[in-house]
Structure 1
Amino acid sequence: MTEQQPVPGTQAGLLQAELREQRAAARTGGDPELQREAPEKRPFSFGRWFKATGWRHLVGIVVVAFALFPIVFVISSSLNPKGTLTGSNALFSQIGFDAYARILTNPDVPFTTWFANTLIIAGITAILTVFLGSLAAYAFSRMRFTGRRFGLVSIVVIQMFPQMLAVVAIFLVMTAISDWFPAIGLNTHIGLIMVYLGGALGVNTYLMYGYFNTIPASIDEAAKIDGAGHARIFFTIILRLVAPILAVVALLSFIFTVNEYVVASVILIDTEKQTLAVGLVKLVSNPRYADWAAFSAGAVIAALPVVLLFLYLQKYIVGGLSAGAVK
């Protein structure tokens, strides 16, 4: 049997209407205007919530877990005192800091020297890449000269070929330079930085060129009316407005230099001059005994500068400083 609804106008109907008004008054604080507008709250339904937004949370959790698993595995391997990967399948089954102590105190493994070389080379490469790339991007964006379009097309075409294909040519060129200028040739940090700059300037220049085009030309014209030249406009106005893209280029250049192995292993020969990526490979290159725990510990330590730099530049990456530059 179905429950009969009270007939409007009867005593039961009036009591039910009064009860609904009291519930609405309790929700709206007694405001009569809100009583007429406030809808009755629908009961929570898990199916309706999952169909609307819940599935997005599930996808996000799966993606985060997929991205964090390699990091968790490396951290677990670095804490494994046995030094092998076979015991790291069970995550955090054994915890110890023997690998960190071994890689930092072993006289045969100059980890601190490799780490310092990596920071110096990556820092100088990132700074020079941003500076030279921004100069070239400003010239392509604001100036009109013969060969401008050909230069832009050449940058795009050259970047289609990876730098790894030119490793043999780079080695031969650096060997020839060493005969005349040993300070910038083979087995030197300056020579490696020059190779990195040559390979990174093209794509970074084109990336910054597109961002420079979003800055209104009226800013340059207003500065020229006040008597400013190209150099003053670039250093005092444009660079502040394009800070987000400069931060992105600096971060990408730093990460690439820290992780690069092929070119650094060809150019840097002496152990004391090698970078961290080249040095850590030696720990696992021995087929009889590969110290994967020390390798993982070194990888965790090498990731710290990248994470700190990303956290520092995050405010420039997220915030668009050029927004509201002109009215």
Structure 2
Amino acid sequence: MTTATQQHNPDAVIDPDAAVVGHPKRPFKRYFRETGWRHLVGIAMSIFAAFPLLYVFSASLNPGGTLVTANSLFSNFSFQSYVDLFNRPQQPYAAWFGNTLLIGGISSLGTVFLGALAAYAFSRMRFIGRRVGLLTLLLVQMFPQLLAVVAIFLLLSGISEIFPAIGLNSQIGLIMVYLGGALGVNTYLMYGFFNTVPSSIDEAAKIDGAGHARIFFTIILRLVAPILAVVGLLSFVGTTSEFVIASIVLIDPDKQTLAVGLYQFVSQEFSRNWSIFAAGAVLAAIPVMTLFLFLQKYIVGGLTAGSVK
């Protein structure tokens, strides 16, 4: 077409961007209406999500100790806040970090194990009260955990008089509280994923002589790895960032978690140090970010497959 036009009118000017063979150029209005606005929304959301992270990191590098002087991002650059974070005997950040990893790791592993056992029972077994039990788990989770703070305190206070190891000011007691309140939504989420696994696999294993325990540990757990990763990640994030119950149960500074300990840097009126607080928050985000990146390939599949049943 172009060659014929040139032969009939050799003086005609041809715009090379007017059309491309096989890939015609879209007008700007059409491009913006179809895909351009999505790019703008994506850029805006990326800036909205990244700015608080950059602001906290900039505040951790600002030796001023206030957030007002951190308004200019990265105007001051010093790692002194990170050094001071580990040189405060009255505020043992290293102990808080270790306690958080210990409590969060054990709680997440226990939540995954107990939730998987309950989900397998609800998915594969038929018994009286099965449907009522599922509904009860969901109804209990409708009430916020804050309503149970007084009951948890009184319960642990009474237990500490008989078994001090699992009562107040005990990390084991806090782990047991977390495990007791993590079976509702997690069990129902796992139950939906377990239903996607064909029951014919169980029947074939039973023909070969396998019982429920062997089927669960050797077959089912490998097939439901995505949802186990999702529940473990959500549980770890929830326990490491939980403040209310941890501040009531744990009293000694050496036993507290990061969420409780970091509050001490900004709770006192005349000794607030937002730089050290920001530095501690940046370091506290590293384990969660590392675990998220490690389990990233399981997250989307686990959430979407567990939500269709």
**Does the pair score TM above 0.5?**
yes
**Larger RCO, structure (CA 8 Å, separation 6 or more):** 2
Residue in 1 that maps onto 2:299: 317
Residue in 2 that maps onto 1:57: 39
Cα deviation digits, residues 27-60 of structure 1 (max 9, x gap) = xxxxxxxxxxx95653464333222211111110
Cα deviation digits, residues 281-311 of structure 1 (max 9, x gap) = 0010111231111001000000000000011
**C-alpha distance in 1, partners of 2:58/2:256?**
27
AA at the equivalent of 1:114: W
AA at the equivalent of 1:279: G
AA at the equivalent of 1:15: Q
Which stretch shows the higher mean deviation, 279-288 or 89-98?
Answer: 89-98
CA separation of 1:122/1:51 partners in 2, compared to 1, >3 Å: closer, same or farther?
same
TM-score (norm 2): 0.90
Q: Output the aligned Cα RMSD.
A: 2.2
**C-alpha distance in 2, partners of 1:41/1:151?**
58
**C-alpha distance in 1, partners of 2:85/2:300?**
37
Residue 302 in structure 1 maps to residue 302 in structure 2:
no
Q: Which residue, 224, 227, 252 being the options, matches 1:242?
A: 224
Q: How many residues align?
A: 293
TM-score (norm 1): 0.85
Q: Which residue, 252, 255, 262 being the options, matches 2:237?
A: 255
Residue in 2 that maps onto 1:136: 118
Residue in 1 that maps onto 2:248: 266
Cα deviation digits, residues 171-195 of structure 1 (max 9, x gap) = 0000000011111111001000000
Residue in 2 that maps onto 1:125: 107
Q: Which residue, 108, 126, 146 being the options, matches 2:90?
A: 108
Q: Which residue, 170, 190, 209 being the options, matches 2:152?
A: 170
Residue in 2 that maps onto 1:15: 7
**C-alpha distance in 1, partners of 2:6/2:119?**
77
CA contact (8 A) 2:91 2:253 kept: no
Q: Secondary structure at the match of 1:80?
A: coil
Residue in 1 that maps onto 2:164: 182
State the shift of 1:316 in Å: 2.3
Residue 231 in structure 1 maps to residue 213 in structure 2:
yes
State the shift of 1:270 in Å: 0.5
AA at the equivalent of 2:242: E
**C-alpha distance in 2, partners of 1:96/1:294?**
12
Q: Secondary structure at the match of 1:284?
A: helix
Structure 2: where are the runs of 5+ without partners?
A: 10-19
AA at the equivalent of 1:217: S
**C-alpha distance in 2, partners of 1:186/1:100?**
32
Q: Secondary structure at the match of 1:200?
A: coil
Q: Which residue, 47, 52, 61 being the options, matches 1:79?
A: 61
CA separation of 1:96/1:221 partners in 2, compared to 1, >3 Å: closer, same or farther?
same
Structure 1: where are the runs of 5+ without partners?
A: 1-11, 18-37
Higher-Rg structure is: 1
AA at the equivalent of 2:7: L
CA separation of 1:318/1:206 partners in 2, compared to 1, >3 Å: closer, same or farther?
closer
Residue in 2 that maps onto 1:285: 267
Runs of 4+ in 1 over 6 A off after TM superposition: none
Residue in 1 that maps onto 2:13: none
Cα deviation digits, residues 189-242 of structure 1 (max 9, x gap) = 100000000111122111111111111111111111121111111111111111
**C-alpha distance in 2, partners of 1:69/1:216?**
45
**C-alpha distance in 1, partners of 2:301/2:161?**
48
